[in-house]
Chain A
Amino acid sequence: MPNVCFYFQVHQPYRMKKYSVFDIGSNSTYFDEQKNAEVMRKVAKKCYLPTNALMLELIKKYKHTSRPFKISYSITGVALEQFEKYAPEVLESFKVLANTGCVEFLSETYYHSLSYIYSKEEFKSQVEMHRHKIKYLFNQEPVVFRNTELIFNNEIANFVEQMGFKAMLAEGADHILNWRSPNYVYRAKTTKNLKLLLKNYKLSDDIAFRFGQKSWESYPLTAEKYAGWINQHAEHSINLFMDYETFGEHQWEDTGIFAFLKKLPDELLKNGHTKFIWPSELALIEPVAELDIHNYVSWADVERDLSAWIGNNMQNSALEEVYLLEKTIKDVNNKSLIEDWRKLTTSDHFYYMCTKYFNDGDVHKYFNPYDTPYESYINFMNILNDIIIRMKRLIQEKNVVIDLREDYKKQNYNLKHQLTEKPHKSMVVFNASL
């Protein structure tokens, strides 16, 4: 009689518009409104709206039973913003779900960033921003944390515990579990009592990746068959973690994914024991053991590490240069500049630069709006260089203001001089001494 813990990740990045070297210094709109709106509306129609409607139907169906249908989400801040702008009806449907009392929201970084790895301070800010947004929209205070792409290790666990979280999600990768089962609650080494909830990648990926695969030996997957696999278990919980876009977007409607989902709770509940459980409830369970995870683990690619975002020269330099700007940008303290800069921290931009499987052409390609990783890097760096120019201009303006206050007359000549001196047009190759 296992518990089943459903967790869905909802995310849409701000895709950049085509931005040329010749735009640097003269054009500060970086994101492709039209494309982002288009994608959002398309995914809303194919996935978010029908899936939310189905979830609501299922929640209502079991709400007053002894074993209600419970689910959990984490929705990135950038996805929420885009719902507000391009698909407010999706946001409304999430609010309706939140109001049923059967939905739990988890915490993550607002910008779906790799900030933990590059700047703990920025990481904290982004988690805090996300907390505010969730509180404001859904009136919930998350107690369970999920890091971008389930990136995890001992050190993050310790940091997250100190931020006050009770549990954290991670990939139940073979190389961290060895002989152990992902279906128990563990405690992360280096923490006092932070619970580790591990994704059962086999059963999760059966839905997320293999559901519509005709070559798969278990195709077609029925709710009966799948519930049968789950109900064999008797551990703490089967953690089914996946992208929410699995429903209708990765697995299209014609694969029968919605019919499957609709039937699944019934089949799971048939045995009279299985229950649905939230991550926050799992956080209360006594862990069976301590897990020592020194190296970074994530849910991406077969490697289940950071190599989708960090690894080649382009990715490394782009990431380093973005985070090198942090201190100065925050000192300059211009709202729109900080916001644009933060949008550049979204991990998707670095995923597009990945050359790892480029030669085989694969999943990375499916999610990549650029023809090649090289193009995505050029676009990213051009935009980053414009941000640097804006930042420099603001620094210049600020200095001018300070000069004015000190001694207007004395500085008058200087001031004129500074104002007529235009920012250098040639490419700014950023360095740390800025």
Chain B
Amino acid sequence: MRKLKVLMFGWEFPPFMSGGLGTACYGLTKGLTNKNVDVTFVMPNGPEDMKAEFVKLMIASNLKRYNVKLKYIDTLLRPYLSDTQYVREYDRYIEVLKNSNANSKVIYGKNIYEEVYRLSLAAEVIALSDEYDVIHCHDWMTFPAGIAAKKATGKPLVVHVHATEYDRGGGNGVNSQVYAMEREGMMYADKIIAVSNFTKQKLINNYFIPEEKITVVHNAVEFSEEKKFDIKQHEKVVLFLGRLTLQKGPDYFIEAAKKVLDYDPDVKFIIAGNGDMEAKIVDRVAQLGIGNKVLFAGFVSGPDVDRAYQAADLYVMPSVSEPFGITPLEALRNNVPVIISKQSGVSEVLKNALKVDFWDVDELANKIISVLNYRSLHKDLSKHGLMEVHTFSWNIPAGKCIEVYNLVISEKNNEIKI
């Protein structure tokens, strides 16, 4: 049988990105190539003068052994970028350009929507450059690219939803332009992959997508070589790791921290990450008078991520709306027990974790104190969690994606016959 050829519009691979989208793209691509699928991965890539060259080299060498063809599109887009952040990025680029005195022309869109559209033009060219069986794209910024590729080639389109505008808004309204692009992608798609039932329900209720068009494929976790850090600690440490946005619920983490500290002052809380809520969170910490107990570690990446986990006695993911949530799996991989919000996709599949409603700060505090004080609980949660996390192989979601590919391809073939 001929190899399946997939044209995938995705995002940068770890460790050079923030958040779970790149991690998921990387894992899925590896899983697919393990299963003998030919993947051409189109990666949005920043302007050369703003990014170190070794990034590209790293990625290329990482993927060499998996036999993935990489193509780059030069763009200012990055995952999780908001429209205002894009404008800031654009202005920064113009500034860099001025200072360099180079004579280059500005190719990027003035706003994020223009830029996404520009990406789709490039996508069309790539799609026509070879014969692909199926087009697969990840989250809204690549949806127009996927649509363009589908229109140009007539090949079936699969859109993969890792997060919706409703998650990113954290319950505070949605950007209507983003919503429109998300929905357009879902409508044009032959099949939609959602990372959880949690997300599937959002697509049904908020995007009015028929249930049968959606397949749930839960994420997995990638095991790299284990790096053990020798971290000495005297106090018990509770970790938050994620963007400081409404979606991730850092405010609930702080409120729970206060309750825990009232009960047991011998605990430290570490907040690793940055985002638009940072100032608000710092203020609140000061207001609660727990400034000496809450440490802000800023954005962490690369080996520092594992270092952060290993410094912790407990990882908490209090997300308000988390389509999947890969960080609890990473924490367990580092032998750290986890408390996760029930409003997350990962809580559908992860058994050896404590689960709370994100708004139930009392219960979150109850569970934090219990894990820190009852050693047997800490031991069993991390022991069984580590065993469980080893079963989350990317080969499983990759297999489910292949089923989706075969389905859309055979449907397309039947259409043609008719």
Contact = CB atoms under 8 A, between A and B. Distances in A.
Interface of A: 20-22, 312-314, 316-318, 355, 358-359, 361, 371-375, 377-378, 381-382, 425-427, 429
A386 to B, nearest CB: 13
Interface stretch (B84-92, B159-167, B368-376): B368-376
A312 B380 contact: yes
Given A316-B376, A317-B376, A429-B373, A22 B366 contact: yes
B403 interface: no
A378 B263 contact: no
Nearest to A20: B366
Contacts of B376: 312-314, 316-318, 377
A21 B365 contact: yes
**What DSSP secondary structure best describes chain B's contact surface?**
helix
B351 A358 contact: yes
B378 to A, nearest CB: 9
B307 interface: no
B308 to A, nearest CB: 23
A382 B351 CA distance: 22
Q: Give the one of A361, A374, A425 with max B CB within 10 A.
A: A374
B376 to A, nearest CB: 4
25 contacts: A21-B370, A22-B365, A312-B376, A313-B375, A313-B377, A317-B376, A355-B380, A358-B351, A359-B351, A371-B355, A372-B351, A372-B352, A372-B355, A373-B380, A374-B352, A374-B354, A374-B381, A377-B374, A377-B380, A378-B370, A381-B374, A382-B366, A382-B370, A425-B263, A426-B263
B243 to A, nearest CB: 28
A318 B375 CA distance: 11
B264 interface: yes
A221 to B, nearest CB: 34
Given A372-B352, A377-B374, 4 more contacts: A313-B380, A359-B352, A381-B370, A426-B263
A375 B379 CA distance: 14
B124 interface: no
Q: Give the one of A355, A361, A429 with max B CB within 10 A.
A: A355
A378 B367 contact: yes
B43 to A, nearest CB: 37
Contacts of A22: 259, 263, 362, 365-366
B303 to A, nearest CB: 30
B363 interface: yes
A378 B366 contact: yes
B366 A313 contact: no
B5 interface: no
Interface in B331-387: 351-352, 354-355, 362-363, 365-367, 369-370, 373-377, 379-381, 383-384
B388 interface: yes
B354 A426 contact: no
A377 B377 contact: yes
Nearest to A377: B377
A82 B352 CA distance: 33
Contacts of A355: 352, 380, 384
Given A314-B377, A316-B376, A426-B264, A372 B370 contact: no
A374 B365 contact: no
A356 to B, nearest CB: 10
Nearest to A317: B376
A22 B369 CA distance: 10
A362 to B, nearest CB: 12
Interface in B225-273: 259, 263-264
Contacts of A317: 374-376
A57 B196 CA distance: 54
Contacts of B380: 312-314, 355, 373-374, 377
Nearest to B370: A378
A355 B366 CA distance: 21
B377 A378 contact: yes
Contacts of A374: 352, 354, 377, 380-381
A255 B348 CA distance: 32
Contacts of B363: 20
Nearest to B374: A381
Nearest to A375: B354
A313 B263 contact: no
A40 to B, nearest CB: 27
A218 B365 CA distance: 52
A252 B381 CA distance: 36
A212 B66 CA distance: 51
A427 B377 contact: no
B367 to A, nearest CB: 7
B388 A313 contact: no
A222 B120 CA distance: 69
Given A22-B366, A359-B388, A426-B263, A378 B374 contact: yes
A21 B369 contact: yes
Contacts of B263: 21-22, 425-427
A355 B259 CA distance: 30
Contacts of A20: 362-363, 366
B381 to A, nearest CB: 6
Contacts of B384: 355, 358-359
Contacts of B367: 378
A248 B70 CA distance: 63
Contact of B373 (A318, A358, A359, A427): A427
A427 B379 contact: no
Q: Which 9 residue pairs spanning A and B have beta carbons closest together?
A: A313-B376, A317-B376, A378-B370, A20-B366, A313-B379, A21-B369, A314-B376, A21-B366, A427-B373
Nearest to A320: B376
Contact of B354 (A316, A359, A372): A372
Contacts of B351: 358-359, 361, 372
Nearest to B368: A21
A427 B369 contact: yes
A229 to B, nearest CB: 39
A377 B381 CA distance: 11
B343 to A, nearest CB: 15
A317 B375 CA distance: 9
A130 B362 CA distance: 40
Contacts of A359: 351-352, 384, 388
A431 B373 CA distance: 13
A154 B356 CA distance: 46
A426 B372 CA distance: 12
Q: Give the one of B259, B355, B379, B381 with max A CB within 10 A.
A: B381
Interface string B128-157: 000000000000000000000000000000
Contacts of B365: 21-22
A382 B369 CA distance: 10
A407 to B, nearest CB: 39
Contacts of A312: 376, 380
A382 B362 CA distance: 14
Contacts of B355: 371-372
A382 B373 CA distance: 11
B189 to A, nearest CB: 33
Contacts of A372: 351-352, 354-355
A313 B362 CA distance: 26
